[in-house]
Amino acid sequence: MDFRYTDEQSQLRKAVREFAEQEIGPHVQEWDEHQTFPVEVVKELGSLGYLGSVFPEEYGGAELDYVSYCLIIEELARVDPSVGLIVAAHTSLCSNHIYLAGNEEQKRRYLPKLASGEWIGCWSLTEPEAGSDAGGTRSVAVRNGDGWILNGAKTFCTNAHHADVCVAMAVTDRAASQHGISAFVIEKGTPGFRLGRKEKKMGVRASATGEVIFEDCRLPGRQLLGLPGEGFVDSLRTLDGGRISIAALSIGTAQGAYDAAILYSKHRRQFGRFISEFQAIQHKLADMATDIDAARLLTYRAATMHSRGENVNKESAMAKLFASEMGVRVCNEAVQIHGGYGYIQEYGVEKFYRDIRLMTIGEGTSEIQRMVIARQLLKA
Ligand SMILES: Cc1cc2nc3c(=O)[nH]c(=O)nc-3n(C[C@H](O)[C@H](O)[C@H](O)COP(=O)(O)OP(=O)(O)OC[C@H]3O[C@@H](n4cnc5c(N)ncnc54)[C@H](O)[C@@H]3O)c2cc1C
Protein backbone atom coordinates (compact mmCIF):
# COMPACT_ATOMS: atom_id res chain seq x y z
CA MET A 1 0.00 0.00 0.00
CA ASP A 2 1.18 3.48 -0.79
CA PHE A 3 -0.88 6.37 0.49
CA ARG A 4 0.85 9.06 -1.57
CA TYR A 5 -0.11 10.41 -4.96
CA THR A 6 2.49 9.79 -7.65
CA ASP A 7 4.28 12.90 -8.97
CA GLU A 8 2.11 12.71 -12.10
CA GLN A 9 -1.06 12.53 -10.02
CA SER A 10 0.03 15.52 -7.89
CA GLN A 11 0.77 17.54 -11.03
CA LEU A 12 -2.55 16.57 -12.56
CA ARG A 13 -4.39 17.56 -9.40
CA LYS A 14 -2.67 20.95 -9.35
CA ALA A 15 -3.38 21.57 -13.04
CA VAL A 16 -7.07 20.68 -12.74
CA ARG A 17 -7.42 22.77 -9.59
CA GLU A 18 -5.91 25.80 -11.31
CA PHE A 19 -8.13 25.35 -14.33
CA ALA A 20 -11.24 24.92 -12.18
CA GLU A 21 -10.51 27.94 -10.00
CA GLN A 22 -9.66 30.22 -12.92
CA GLU A 23 -12.02 29.11 -15.67
CA ILE A 24 -15.00 27.74 -13.74
CA GLY A 25 -14.94 29.49 -10.34
CA PRO A 26 -15.96 32.97 -11.53
CA HIS A 27 -19.08 31.62 -13.30
CA VAL A 28 -20.42 29.07 -10.81
CA GLN A 29 -23.19 31.18 -9.29
CA GLU A 30 -24.39 32.54 -12.61
CA TRP A 31 -24.48 29.10 -14.27
CA ASP A 32 -26.39 27.74 -11.30
CA GLU A 33 -28.89 30.57 -11.25
CA HIS A 34 -29.60 30.45 -14.98
CA GLN A 35 -29.14 26.67 -15.34
CA THR A 36 -26.52 27.33 -18.00
CA PHE A 37 -24.75 24.28 -19.39
CA PRO A 38 -21.08 25.36 -19.71
CA VAL A 39 -20.50 23.96 -23.16
CA GLU A 40 -17.30 25.93 -23.85
CA VAL A 41 -15.70 24.71 -20.63
CA VAL A 42 -16.64 21.12 -21.46
CA LYS A 43 -14.97 21.48 -24.87
CA GLU A 44 -11.90 22.98 -23.20
CA LEU A 45 -11.75 20.05 -20.78
CA GLY A 46 -11.72 17.81 -23.84
CA SER A 47 -8.83 19.65 -25.42
CA LEU A 48 -6.91 19.33 -22.13
CA GLY A 49 -7.37 15.56 -22.24
CA TYR A 50 -9.66 15.37 -19.20
CA LEU A 51 -12.64 13.84 -21.00
CA GLY A 52 -10.88 10.73 -22.21
CA SER A 53 -8.51 10.36 -19.31
CA VAL A 54 -8.93 6.64 -18.68
CA PHE A 55 -9.08 5.35 -22.26
CA PRO A 56 -6.15 4.04 -24.31
CA GLU A 57 -4.26 6.48 -26.49
CA GLU A 58 -5.31 4.63 -29.64
CA TYR A 59 -8.88 5.83 -28.91
CA GLY A 60 -7.81 9.39 -28.17
CA GLY A 61 -7.50 8.85 -24.43
CA ALA A 62 -4.76 9.81 -21.98
CA GLU A 63 -4.42 6.27 -20.60
CA LEU A 64 -4.46 7.43 -16.99
CA ASP A 65 -5.29 5.23 -14.02
CA TYR A 66 -8.62 5.50 -12.20
CA VAL A 67 -7.18 7.38 -9.21
CA SER A 68 -6.12 10.11 -11.65
CA TYR A 69 -9.63 10.12 -13.08
CA CYS A 70 -10.98 10.52 -9.52
CA LEU A 71 -8.65 13.48 -9.01
CA ILE A 72 -10.03 15.18 -12.12
CA ILE A 73 -13.63 14.71 -10.96
CA GLU A 74 -12.79 15.76 -7.37
CA GLU A 75 -11.03 18.95 -8.40
CA LEU A 76 -13.81 19.96 -10.78
CA ALA A 77 -16.48 19.20 -8.17
CA ARG A 78 -14.58 21.12 -5.49
CA VAL A 79 -15.31 24.24 -7.54
CA ASP A 80 -18.51 23.20 -9.34
CA PRO A 81 -20.17 19.82 -8.79
CA SER A 82 -22.23 20.37 -11.96
CA VAL A 83 -19.10 20.30 -14.10
CA GLY A 84 -17.88 17.20 -12.25
CA LEU A 85 -21.21 15.50 -12.98
CA ILE A 86 -21.16 16.44 -16.66
CA VAL A 87 -17.68 14.93 -17.03
CA ALA A 88 -18.56 11.85 -14.98
CA ALA A 89 -21.69 11.04 -17.03
CA HIS A 90 -19.84 11.69 -20.28
CA THR A 91 -16.78 9.62 -19.35
CA SER A 92 -17.67 6.80 -17.03
CA LEU A 93 -21.18 6.17 -18.32
CA CYS A 94 -21.42 7.00 -22.03
CA SER A 95 -17.80 6.60 -23.17
CA ASN A 96 -17.03 3.76 -20.81
CA HIS A 97 -20.04 1.71 -21.91
CA ILE A 98 -18.84 2.09 -25.50
CA TYR A 99 -15.31 1.14 -24.42
CA LEU A 100 -16.47 -1.90 -22.43
CA ALA A 101 -19.01 -3.30 -24.87
CA GLY A 102 -18.35 -1.70 -28.24
CA ASN A 103 -16.75 -3.40 -31.22
CA GLU A 104 -13.59 -1.99 -32.80
CA GLU A 105 -15.50 0.05 -35.36
CA GLN A 106 -17.69 1.65 -32.66
CA LYS A 107 -14.72 2.42 -30.42
CA ARG A 108 -12.89 4.07 -33.31
CA ARG A 109 -15.95 6.04 -34.40
CA TYR A 110 -17.00 7.36 -31.00
CA LEU A 111 -14.23 7.35 -28.41
CA PRO A 112 -11.79 9.81 -30.04
CA LYS A 113 -14.57 12.37 -30.59
CA LEU A 114 -15.85 11.91 -27.03
CA ALA A 115 -12.33 12.11 -25.60
CA SER A 116 -11.55 15.34 -27.45
CA GLY A 117 -14.84 16.97 -26.50
CA GLU A 118 -15.87 17.30 -30.14
CA TRP A 119 -18.90 15.25 -29.14
CA ILE A 120 -20.68 15.21 -25.79
CA GLY A 121 -22.14 11.93 -24.55
CA CYS A 122 -25.07 10.87 -22.40
CA TRP A 123 -26.23 7.51 -21.05
CA SER A 124 -29.83 6.56 -20.59
CA LEU A 125 -30.94 3.66 -18.45
CA THR A 126 -33.59 5.21 -16.17
CA GLU A 127 -37.22 5.39 -17.22
CA PRO A 128 -40.24 6.89 -15.46
CA GLU A 129 -41.32 3.40 -14.29
CA ALA A 130 -37.84 1.87 -14.08
CA GLY A 131 -35.49 3.67 -11.70
CA SER A 132 -33.87 1.51 -9.02
CA ASP A 133 -35.53 -1.41 -10.76
CA ALA A 134 -33.81 -0.66 -14.06
CA GLY A 135 -34.37 -4.26 -15.16
CA GLY A 136 -38.00 -3.20 -15.55
CA THR A 137 -37.10 -1.16 -18.66
CA ARG A 138 -40.11 -0.65 -20.94
CA SER A 139 -38.53 0.98 -24.00
CA VAL A 140 -38.46 -1.58 -26.77
CA ALA A 141 -36.36 -2.25 -29.84
CA VAL A 142 -37.68 -4.64 -32.48
CA ARG A 143 -35.78 -6.11 -35.37
CA ASN A 144 -36.33 -4.45 -38.72
CA GLY A 145 -34.36 -6.29 -41.39
CA ASP A 146 -30.71 -5.79 -40.42
CA GLY A 147 -31.59 -2.94 -38.10
CA TRP A 148 -33.86 -2.00 -35.21
CA ILE A 149 -36.85 0.22 -34.49
CA LEU A 150 -36.80 1.85 -31.04
CA ASN A 151 -39.80 3.15 -29.14
CA GLY A 152 -39.97 4.49 -25.62
CA ALA A 153 -38.92 7.30 -23.31
CA LYS A 154 -36.00 7.68 -20.94
CA THR A 155 -35.89 10.10 -18.08
CA PHE A 156 -33.29 11.88 -15.89
CA CYS A 157 -30.57 11.67 -18.51
CA THR A 158 -27.54 13.81 -17.62
CA ASN A 159 -26.17 15.86 -20.57
CA ALA A 160 -29.14 14.78 -22.76
CA HIS A 161 -29.90 18.23 -24.10
CA HIS A 162 -26.31 18.84 -25.18
CA ALA A 163 -25.35 15.36 -26.27
CA ASP A 164 -24.22 14.32 -29.72
CA VAL A 165 -24.27 10.65 -28.77
CA CYS A 166 -26.64 8.76 -26.49
CA VAL A 167 -26.20 5.23 -25.20
CA ALA A 168 -29.67 3.88 -24.35
CA MET A 169 -31.05 0.58 -23.14
CA ALA A 170 -34.17 -1.06 -24.58
CA VAL A 171 -35.90 -4.42 -24.31
CA THR A 172 -35.21 -6.70 -27.27
CA ASP A 173 -36.53 -9.95 -25.78
CA ARG A 174 -39.01 -9.51 -22.97
CA ALA A 175 -39.13 -13.23 -22.18
CA ALA A 176 -35.39 -13.23 -21.42
CA SER A 177 -35.89 -10.70 -18.61
CA GLN A 178 -32.60 -8.95 -17.69
CA HIS A 179 -30.81 -10.83 -20.47
CA GLY A 180 -33.31 -9.39 -22.93
CA ILE A 181 -32.23 -5.76 -22.65
CA SER A 182 -29.84 -4.43 -25.29
CA ALA A 183 -27.80 -1.24 -25.56
CA PHE A 184 -27.79 1.07 -28.57
CA VAL A 185 -25.73 4.06 -29.60
CA ILE A 186 -27.90 6.79 -31.07
CA GLU A 187 -26.51 9.86 -32.77
CA LYS A 188 -28.09 13.28 -32.56
CA GLY A 189 -30.22 13.94 -35.63
CA THR A 190 -31.31 10.32 -36.07
CA PRO A 191 -34.96 10.48 -37.24
CA GLY A 192 -37.31 9.45 -34.43
CA PHE A 193 -34.86 10.46 -31.71
CA ARG A 194 -35.79 13.64 -29.89
CA LEU A 195 -35.38 15.38 -26.57
CA GLY A 196 -38.21 15.85 -24.12
CA ARG A 197 -38.45 17.93 -21.00
CA LYS A 198 -35.38 19.44 -19.36
CA GLU A 199 -35.82 19.20 -15.59
CA LYS A 200 -35.64 22.14 -13.19
CA LYS A 201 -33.51 20.87 -10.36
CA MET A 202 -32.64 21.49 -6.71
CA GLY A 203 -28.91 21.31 -7.40
CA VAL A 204 -26.25 20.58 -10.00
CA ARG A 205 -28.31 23.01 -12.03
CA ALA A 206 -25.65 23.76 -14.65
CA SER A 207 -25.77 20.10 -15.68
CA ALA A 208 -28.71 19.43 -17.99
CA THR A 209 -30.96 16.55 -16.95
CA GLY A 210 -33.82 15.52 -19.16
CA GLU A 211 -35.86 13.13 -21.22
CA VAL A 212 -34.87 11.36 -24.40
CA ILE A 213 -37.66 10.01 -26.56
CA PHE A 214 -37.69 7.36 -29.29
CA GLU A 215 -40.59 7.35 -31.74
CA ASP A 216 -40.17 4.70 -34.42
CA CYS A 217 -36.48 5.51 -34.31
CA ARG A 218 -34.84 3.39 -37.03
CA LEU A 219 -31.30 2.31 -36.34
CA PRO A 220 -28.97 0.34 -38.58
CA GLY A 221 -27.69 -2.90 -37.06
CA ARG A 222 -24.26 -1.37 -36.43
CA GLN A 223 -25.78 0.85 -33.70
CA LEU A 224 -26.35 -2.15 -31.41
CA LEU A 225 -23.75 -1.87 -28.64
CA GLY A 226 -22.45 -5.19 -27.35
CA LEU A 227 -24.25 -8.49 -27.70
CA PRO A 228 -28.03 -8.56 -28.13
CA GLY A 229 -29.64 -8.99 -24.70
CA GLU A 230 -26.48 -8.07 -22.76
CA GLY A 231 -27.09 -4.34 -22.49
CA PHE A 232 -28.36 -4.53 -18.92
CA VAL A 233 -25.47 -6.66 -17.73
CA ASP A 234 -23.06 -4.29 -19.49
CA SER A 235 -24.86 -1.38 -17.79
CA LEU A 236 -24.20 -2.92 -14.39
CA ARG A 237 -20.50 -3.28 -15.29
CA THR A 238 -20.51 0.33 -16.47
CA LEU A 239 -22.10 1.42 -13.20
CA ASP A 240 -19.34 -0.30 -11.19
CA GLY A 241 -16.95 2.28 -12.66
CA GLY A 242 -19.54 5.04 -12.63
CA ARG A 243 -20.09 4.71 -8.91
CA ILE A 244 -16.41 5.40 -8.29
CA SER A 245 -16.86 8.68 -10.12
CA ILE A 246 -19.93 9.58 -8.01
CA ALA A 247 -17.83 8.86 -4.92
CA ALA A 248 -15.12 11.19 -6.28
CA LEU A 249 -17.78 13.77 -7.09
CA SER A 250 -19.03 13.56 -3.50
CA ILE A 251 -15.51 13.95 -2.12
CA GLY A 252 -14.84 16.99 -4.28
CA THR A 253 -18.14 18.59 -3.30
CA ALA A 254 -17.46 17.92 0.39
CA GLN A 255 -13.92 19.29 0.02
CA GLY A 256 -15.23 22.50 -1.53
CA ALA A 257 -17.69 22.96 1.33
CA TYR A 258 -15.06 22.10 3.94
CA ASP A 259 -12.49 24.51 2.44
CA ALA A 260 -15.08 27.29 2.56
CA ALA A 261 -16.02 26.43 6.15
CA ILE A 262 -12.46 26.36 7.51
CA LEU A 263 -11.65 29.66 5.82
CA TYR A 264 -14.81 31.26 7.17
CA SER A 265 -14.14 29.97 10.69
CA LYS A 266 -10.77 31.75 10.69
CA HIS A 267 -12.31 35.08 9.71
CA ARG A 268 -15.64 35.22 11.51
CA ARG A 269 -15.46 36.71 15.00
CA GLN A 270 -18.10 36.29 17.72
CA PHE A 271 -17.77 36.87 21.47
CA GLY A 272 -14.47 38.63 20.69
CA ARG A 273 -12.85 35.51 19.17
CA PHE A 274 -12.57 33.77 15.84
CA ILE A 275 -15.21 31.06 15.75
CA SER A 276 -12.41 28.56 14.90
CA GLU A 277 -11.27 29.02 18.51
CA PHE A 278 -14.49 27.46 19.83
CA GLN A 279 -14.15 23.77 20.56
CA ALA A 280 -17.60 23.08 19.11
CA ILE A 281 -16.44 24.41 15.72
CA GLN A 282 -13.06 22.64 15.96
CA HIS A 283 -14.81 19.32 16.54
CA LYS A 284 -17.01 19.88 13.51
CA LEU A 285 -13.96 20.62 11.36
CA ALA A 286 -12.14 17.57 12.72
CA ASP A 287 -15.10 15.31 11.97
CA MET A 288 -15.49 16.77 8.49
CA ALA A 289 -11.81 16.30 7.60
CA THR A 290 -11.81 12.74 8.97
CA ASP A 291 -14.97 11.89 7.05
CA ILE A 292 -13.53 13.23 3.78
CA ASP A 293 -10.29 11.29 4.24
CA ALA A 294 -12.13 8.06 5.03
CA ALA A 295 -14.19 8.45 1.86
CA ARG A 296 -11.03 9.10 -0.15
CA LEU A 297 -9.41 5.92 1.09
CA LEU A 298 -12.45 3.79 0.20
CA THR A 299 -12.70 5.47 -3.19
CA TYR A 300 -9.02 5.17 -4.07
CA ARG A 301 -9.10 1.50 -3.08
CA ALA A 302 -11.97 0.89 -5.50
CA ALA A 303 -10.23 3.02 -8.15
CA THR A 304 -6.94 1.14 -7.78
CA MET A 305 -8.68 -2.23 -8.01
CA HIS A 306 -10.62 -1.01 -11.04
CA SER A 307 -7.40 0.08 -12.77
CA ARG A 308 -6.04 -3.43 -12.16
CA GLY A 309 -9.08 -4.88 -13.88
CA GLU A 310 -10.46 -6.47 -10.70
CA ASN A 311 -14.16 -6.82 -9.91
CA VAL A 312 -15.18 -3.77 -7.85
CA ASN A 313 -18.90 -4.40 -7.52
CA LYS A 314 -18.79 -4.33 -3.71
CA GLU A 315 -15.94 -1.84 -3.33
CA SER A 316 -17.40 0.76 -5.70
CA ALA A 317 -20.80 0.46 -3.98
CA MET A 318 -19.12 0.91 -0.57
CA ALA A 319 -17.19 3.93 -1.81
CA LYS A 320 -20.28 5.49 -3.39
CA LEU A 321 -22.48 4.79 -0.35
CA PHE A 322 -20.01 6.15 2.19
CA ALA A 323 -18.74 9.10 0.15
CA SER A 324 -22.21 10.37 -0.82
CA GLU A 325 -23.59 10.12 2.72
CA MET A 326 -20.38 11.67 4.05
CA GLY A 327 -20.84 14.52 1.56
CA VAL A 328 -24.33 15.24 2.84
CA ARG A 329 -23.02 15.38 6.44
CA VAL A 330 -20.06 17.60 5.55
CA CYS A 331 -22.03 20.06 3.42
CA ASN A 332 -24.65 20.29 6.16
CA GLU A 333 -21.98 21.16 8.75
CA ALA A 334 -20.37 23.66 6.36
CA VAL A 335 -23.67 25.55 6.25
CA GLN A 336 -23.91 25.36 10.06
CA ILE A 337 -20.40 26.79 10.52
CA HIS A 338 -21.38 29.72 8.31
CA GLY A 339 -24.39 30.45 10.52
CA GLY A 340 -26.95 32.62 8.75
CA TYR A 341 -24.47 33.40 5.97
CA GLY A 342 -24.49 29.69 5.10
CA TYR A 343 -28.05 30.22 3.98
CA ILE A 344 -27.15 33.09 1.69
CA GLN A 345 -26.26 32.47 -1.93
CA GLU A 346 -23.09 34.57 -2.19
CA TYR A 347 -21.25 32.47 0.41
CA GLY A 348 -21.43 29.42 -1.85
CA VAL A 349 -21.97 26.67 0.70
CA GLU A 350 -25.74 26.60 0.24
CA LYS A 351 -25.02 25.51 -3.34
CA PHE A 352 -22.77 22.65 -2.21
CA TYR A 353 -25.56 21.66 0.19
CA ARG A 354 -28.08 21.54 -2.68
CA ASP A 355 -25.68 19.87 -5.13
CA ILE A 356 -24.54 17.08 -2.81
CA ARG A 357 -28.09 15.85 -2.31
CA LEU A 358 -28.04 14.15 -5.70
CA MET A 359 -25.13 11.90 -4.81
CA THR A 360 -27.06 9.55 -2.51
CA ILE A 361 -29.60 9.09 -5.34
CA GLY A 362 -27.94 9.09 -8.79
CA GLU A 363 -26.33 5.89 -10.15
CA GLY A 364 -28.18 3.89 -7.52
CA THR A 365 -29.60 5.19 -4.27
CA SER A 366 -27.98 4.47 -0.90
CA GLU A 367 -30.62 1.80 -0.34
CA ILE A 368 -29.61 0.08 -3.57
CA GLN A 369 -25.88 0.36 -2.73
CA ARG A 370 -26.60 -1.43 0.56
CA MET A 371 -28.41 -4.16 -1.38
CA VAL A 372 -25.43 -4.54 -3.74
CA ILE A 373 -22.98 -4.72 -0.83
CA ALA A 374 -25.12 -7.15 1.16
CA ARG A 375 -25.55 -9.41 -1.88
CA GLN A 376 -21.76 -9.69 -2.16
CA LEU A 377 -21.30 -10.21 1.59
CA LEU A 378 -23.84 -13.01 1.69
CA LYS A 379 -22.30 -14.72 -1.33
CA ALA A 380 -19.09 -15.34 0.60
C1 LIG B 1 -29.93 14.87 -11.47
C2 LIG B 1 -30.06 13.43 -11.88
C3 LIG B 1 -29.25 12.93 -12.86
C4 LIG B 1 -29.39 11.61 -13.30
N5 LIG B 1 -28.63 11.15 -14.34
C6 LIG B 1 -28.91 9.93 -14.88
C7 LIG B 1 -28.28 9.51 -16.10
O8 LIG B 1 -27.44 10.21 -16.66
N9 LIG B 1 -28.66 8.33 -16.64
C10 LIG B 1 -29.59 7.51 -16.05
O11 LIG B 1 -29.88 6.45 -16.59
N12 LIG B 1 -30.18 7.87 -14.87
C13 LIG B 1 -29.88 9.06 -14.29
N14 LIG B 1 -30.51 9.47 -13.13
C15 LIG B 1 -31.50 8.58 -12.52
C16 LIG B 1 -31.09 7.98 -11.19
O17 LIG B 1 -30.09 7.01 -11.37
C18 LIG B 1 -32.36 7.46 -10.53
O19 LIG B 1 -33.12 8.59 -10.13
C20 LIG B 1 -32.08 6.56 -9.35
O21 LIG B 1 -31.51 5.35 -9.78
C22 LIG B 1 -33.35 6.25 -8.53
O23 LIG B 1 -34.43 5.89 -9.33
P24 LIG B 1 -35.84 6.62 -9.12
O25 LIG B 1 -35.60 8.08 -9.14
O26 LIG B 1 -36.82 6.06 -10.07
O27 LIG B 1 -36.27 6.24 -7.63
P28 LIG B 1 -37.07 4.89 -7.17
O29 LIG B 1 -36.39 3.69 -7.73
O30 LIG B 1 -38.51 5.06 -7.42
O31 LIG B 1 -36.80 4.95 -5.60
C32 LIG B 1 -37.60 5.67 -4.67
C33 LIG B 1 -37.13 5.28 -3.27
O34 LIG B 1 -37.38 3.86 -3.04
C35 LIG B 1 -36.18 3.24 -2.67
N36 LIG B 1 -36.15 1.88 -3.20
C37 LIG B 1 -36.40 1.48 -4.47
N38 LIG B 1 -36.27 0.15 -4.57
C39 LIG B 1 -35.89 -0.30 -3.35
C40 LIG B 1 -35.58 -1.58 -2.79
N41 LIG B 1 -35.60 -2.68 -3.55
N42 LIG B 1 -35.25 -1.66 -1.49
C43 LIG B 1 -35.22 -0.55 -0.72
N44 LIG B 1 -35.49 0.70 -1.18
C45 LIG B 1 -35.83 0.81 -2.47
C46 LIG B 1 -35.06 4.10 -3.27
O47 LIG B 1 -33.83 3.88 -2.61
C48 LIG B 1 -35.64 5.49 -3.06
O49 LIG B 1 -35.40 5.89 -1.74
C50 LIG B 1 -30.34 10.76 -12.66
C51 LIG B 1 -31.15 11.27 -11.63
C52 LIG B 1 -31.04 12.57 -11.26
C53 LIG B 1 -31.94 13.10 -10.17
pLDDT of the residue at 1: 84
pLDDT of the residue at 243: 97
Query: In this structure, what are the phi and psi dihedrals at residue 148, rounded to the nearest 5 degrees?
Result: -140, 155
Q: Which ligand 1 atom sits nearest the alpha carbon of residue 89?
A: 8
- Averaged pLDDT, 136-148: 96
Q: How far is the CA of 369 from the centre of ligand 1 (A)?
A: 11
Half-sphere exposure of 53 (CA within 13 A, CB side): 25
pLDDT of the residue at 2: 86
Give the amino acid at 263. Answer: L
**187 Cβ contact list (under 8 Å, min separation 6):** 164, 165, 166
Helices 349-356 and 231-265: angle between axes, nearest 10 degrees: 160
pLDDT higher than threshold 80 for residue 380: no
Could you tell me if the CB of 91 is within 6 A of ligand 1?
no
DSSP for 79-146 reads H-HHHHHHHHIIIIIIIHHHHHH--HHHHHHHHHHHHHTSS-EEEE--BTTBSS-GGG---EEEEETT
- 350 flagged as catalytic: no
pLDDT of the residue at 300: 98
Q: Which ligand 1 atom sits nearest the alpha carbon of residue 366?
A: 47
Could you tell me if the CB of 250 is within 6 A of ligand 1?
no
- Averaged pLDDT, 5-26: 98
Q: How far apart are CA 323 and CA 362, in angstroms?
A: 13
Q: How far is the CA of 153 from the centre of ligand 1 (A)?
A: 16
- Averaged pLDDT, 142-171: 97
> β-strand 165-171 against 181-187: which pairing, if any?
antiparallel
Q: How far apart are CA 375 and CA 380, in angstroms?
A: 9
Over the chain, what is the mean pLDDT? 97
Note the pLDDT tens digit of each residue in 225-282: 999 999 999 999 999 999 999 999 999 999 999 999 999 999 999 999 999 999 999 9
pTM for this predicted structure: 0.97
Q: Quick check: helix, strand or coil at residue 141?
A: strand
Could you tell me if the CB of 245 is within 6 A of ligand 1?
no
Quick one: pLDDT band at residue 317, thresholds 50, 70, 90?
very high
Q: How far is the CA of 264 from the centre of ligand 1 (A)?
A: 35
Note the pLDDT tens digit of each residue in 18-40: 999 999 999 999 999 999 999 99
Is residue 43 exposed (0-12), middle (13-18) or buried (19+ Cβ within 10 Å)? middle
Note the pLDDT tens digit of each residue in 33-80: 999 999 999 999 999 999 999 999 999 999 999 999 999 999 999 999
